[in-house]
């Protein structure tokens, strides 16, 4: 086409113009025709309009409630938290390695600052009593290495996990622990605590679980769990020796009873 007249000057241009003229006229969408008819009748032809995009509809009421719902969700999560671990007391002289820091046994405030789930507790020459008030208490003996479990929540996140690499930890549970589960792992066994007083002893030759009251589930990693009842013990050796099922040793019975009674006082 020429820029001056707008008329085609060659046969090819004329054929293109004719093909365009013969294209079918697009039909208006029914919604557009109805809106145009309404605008014509109401005198709104030519008035600015807001473009309406199709998409998921969100109620303004829910948008207004979203901040309040978020606050309620946060409050519920915070309310689920049980009392955190704290060092209730220590007995004996020496240091307690909390994580990678050696803390003098009498410096409870410094220990508590470092006492977070997942950290390791290694008493050297002193006994450490760890407490989640109303939930449970642990007595960690000198020479032990314990990975501290989390504290079971009040309504959810009620199963927690810890690990004993060496030494001995005595455990007793309180009323708030009811319905929760504490799993303690050693190289030889998995121990599942649901409410009781017991000792887990990880010695050089294996792991012994002694139950003063209640019942405890004990099994080798990847194996079936079996119940150890009140007054009994289970010893799993790491040299292939047969598993021992026997009555608790008198000394361990005495120490566990002392620990339980002191914790409940």
Inside any domain, residue 3: no
Residues 151/135, Cβ–Cβ less than 8 Å: yes
Task: Report the Cα 58 to chain-centroid distance in Å.
Answer: 31
Inside any domain, residue 139: yes
Inside any domain, residue 229: yes
Q: What is the CATH number of the domain that holds 234?
A: 2.60.120.1440
Inside any domain, residue 111: no
Inside any domain, residue 36: no
Residues 137/88, Cβ–Cβ less than 8 Å: yes
pLDDT in tens, the chain (265 residues): 444 455 556 666 677 677 667 766 666 667 767 776 777 666 666 556 555 555 566 566 666 677 766 766 676 566 666 789 999 999 988 999 999 899 999 999 999 999 999 999 999 999 999 999 999 999 999 999 999 999 998 776 789 999 999 999 999 999 989 999 999 999 999 999 999 999 999 999 999 999 999 999 999 998 899 999 999 999 999 999 999 999 999 999 999 999 999 998 8
Q: pTM for this structure?
A: 0.72
Structural domain tally of the chain? 1
165: containing domain: 126-264
Distance CA(18)–CA(2), nearest Å, equals 16
Inside any domain, residue 43: no
Inside any domain, residue 74: no
Distance CA(211)–CA(252), nearest Å, equals 9
């Amino acid at each position: 086409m020429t820029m001056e007249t707008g008329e085609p000057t060659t046969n090819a241009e004329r054929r293109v113009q004719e093909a365009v003229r013969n294209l079918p006229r697009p039909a208006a969408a029914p919604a557009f025709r109805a809106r145009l008819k309404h605008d014509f009748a109401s005198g709104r032809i030519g008035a600015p309009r807001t473009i309406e995009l199709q998409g998921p509809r969100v109620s303004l009421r829910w948008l207004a409630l979203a901040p309040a719902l978020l606050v309620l969700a946060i409050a519920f999560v915070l309310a689920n938290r049980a009392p955190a671990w704290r060092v209730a007391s220590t007995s004996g002289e020496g240091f307690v390695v909390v994580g990678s820091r050696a803390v003098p046994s009498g410096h409870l405030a410094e220990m508590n600052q470092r006492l977070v789930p997942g950290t390791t507790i290694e008493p050297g020459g002193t006994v450490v009593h760890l407490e989640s008030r109303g939930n449970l208490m642990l007595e960690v003996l000198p020479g032990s290495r314990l990975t501290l479990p989390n504290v079971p929540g009040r309504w959810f996140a009620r199963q927690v996990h810890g690990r004993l690499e060496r030494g001995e930890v005595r455990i007793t549970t309180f009323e708030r622990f009811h319905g929760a589960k504490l799993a303690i792992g050693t190289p030889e066994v998995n121990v599942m605590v649901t409410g009781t007083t017991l000792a887990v002893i990880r010695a050089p030759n294996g792991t012994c679980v002694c139950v003063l009251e209640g019942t405890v589930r004990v099994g080798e990693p990847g194996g079936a769990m079996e119940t150890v009842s009140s007054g009994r013990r289970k010893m799993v050796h790491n040299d292939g020796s047969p598993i021992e099922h026997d009555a608790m040793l008198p000394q361990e019975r005495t120490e566990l009873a002392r620990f339980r009674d002191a914790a409940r006082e």
